[in-house]
Amino acid sequence: MKKIGIGFVGCGCISGIYLKNLTNMFREVEIIGVCDLIRERAEKAVEEYNIPKLYEDMYELFRDPDVDIVLNITRPYEHYEVTKQALLHGKHVYSEKPLSPDLNEARELVALAAEKNLRLGGAPDTFMGAGIQTARHLIDSGFIGTPIGGTARFVSNGPERWHPDPEFLYQYGGGPLFDMGPYYVTALINLLGPVAEVNGMTAKSFPTRPILSQKKYGNIIDVEVPTFSMGTMRFKSGALANIFTTFDVTHNDHDVLEIYGSEGTIYVPDPNCFSGEVLLQRIGSTEKVSMPLIFDYPENSRGLGLADMAKALTTGRDHRANCHQQLHVVEVMSAVCTSSETGKTVTIESAFERKAPMKTSALTGILDD
């Protein structure tokens, strides 16, 4: 069977794990070529992973008939234009999160993909990993009774400690809510279903941040976005959950993600990862019980959503990490900010339907039909 051809736009910090997994883990795709505004980054990728083509720019990539899916791993403020141009050139697109930081642009991209009859999807795909899929199975099977709510927390003291070029994480499209929120909101909607309404409050605790990673150590970043945000979601089911994301806190002692039900609680592993311990504590039990992970992809399987979309292209089924999910997530995150500005609860308009749970496979890297 012909493999699905992938073209990379962007060869920055996160490209390494995509290059590795799309080369070694996922057997139904092949990397055709790469490009980056900083040519040396693309050259390094070509050399390290023996990639056939290095394009001058993204337009040359879009014109290559061997590329079926464009992987957009540029910075958040660049996602919209790259995805839009790729769609206009007739390519399917898989984009890093968020789909766009701007809700109207995200809506436009979803409409454009539909109009052109092209697949559009993207990160995060951690919800397809062993951890969240096991938690979903337990909740759907009634282990905690009727779900009534949850809490999600991403607490850190900022990516300027490790990212070599962290500026974009404090610019439009960045901040803890838009950078990390997608993992937590995506996990929540895969566990509790679609969101109906949202309110929130956000703050910017520090106006500037010194870069602490090596290459640009000591440079000062002007903070353009909120770095401390709290949102509350009412799900269509009636369940309530909150999401706290921050780049401003060094110490904390909260569990990352908990789902509460009428008959118990599930402690869900960090949705920033593909796995971790799933703990169940049913009412009446004095202990949390570690549940076996019953799905594949416990390791760092970034690219899983792309491989799933590639397989779906060949079989005609829906892909799991799809643009409707991404749009719903962007709308929820935007609503936290809008509510903070207006003091009002925001109604969510986009529809979201959970896709089929993952299926286990005898061979890692082969997705279901």
Closest-approach residue to ligand NAD (CB): 12
- Is the CB of 40 or the CB of 287 nearer to ligand NAD? 40
Q: How far is the CB of 351 from ligand NAD (least distance, A)?
A: 25
Footprint of ligand NAD on residues 27-66 (CB under 6 A)? 35-38, 41, 58
Should residue 10 be labelled a site residue for ligand NAD when binding is judged by CB under 6 A? yes
Q: What b-and-e string marks burial along 191-218, b requiring 16 or more CB atoms within 10 Å of the CB?
A: bbbbbebbbbbbeeeeeebebbeeebee
Residue 68 binding ligand NAD, by CB under 6 A:
no
- Rounded Cα gap, residues 265 and 212, in angstroms: 39
Name the helix (H) or strand (E) containing 270.
none
Kindly report each contact of residues 79-87 with a partner whose C-beta sits within 8 Å and lies 24 or more positions away, as own/partner: 79/173, 80/105, 80/106, 80/109, 82/9, 82/58, 83/109, 83/120, 84/108, 84/109, 84/112, 85/58, 85/59, 86/9, 86/58, 86/62, 87/112, 87/113, 87/116, 87/118, 87/120
What is the closest distance, in whole angstroms, from the C-beta atom of residue 50 to ligand NAD in the complex?
20
| Contact flag: residue 14 with ligand NAD (CB under 6 A) | yes
Q: Residue 147: CB partners within 8 Å, gap ≥ 6?
A: 139, 191, 192, 237, 239, 259, 260, 261
Task: Provide, rounded to whole angstroms, the least separation between the CB of residue 174 and ligand NAD.
Answer: 8
For residues 81 to 120, the per-residue mask of contacts with ligand NAD, x marking binding by CB under 6 A and - elsewhere, is -x-------------xx-----------------------
Question: Is residue 13 at the binding interface for ligand NAD, with CB under 6 A as the rule?
Answer: yes
Q: At what angle do helices 175-192 and 323-342 cross, to 10 degrees?
A: 120
Per rule CB under 6 A, is residue 258 in the interface with ligand NAD? Answer: no
Residue closer to ligand NAD (CB basis): 194 or 271: 271
The 135-164 contact track toward ligand NAD, x by CB under 6 A, reads: ----------------------------x-
Binding of ligand NAD by 240 (CB under 6 A): no
> Residues 367, 307: contact at Cβ < 8 Å?
yes
Among 31, 45, 53, 74, binds ligand NAD (CB under 6 A): 74
Enumerate binding residues for ligand NAD (CB under 6 A). 9-15, 35-38, 41, 58, 73-76, 78, 82, 96-97, 163, 165, 168, 179
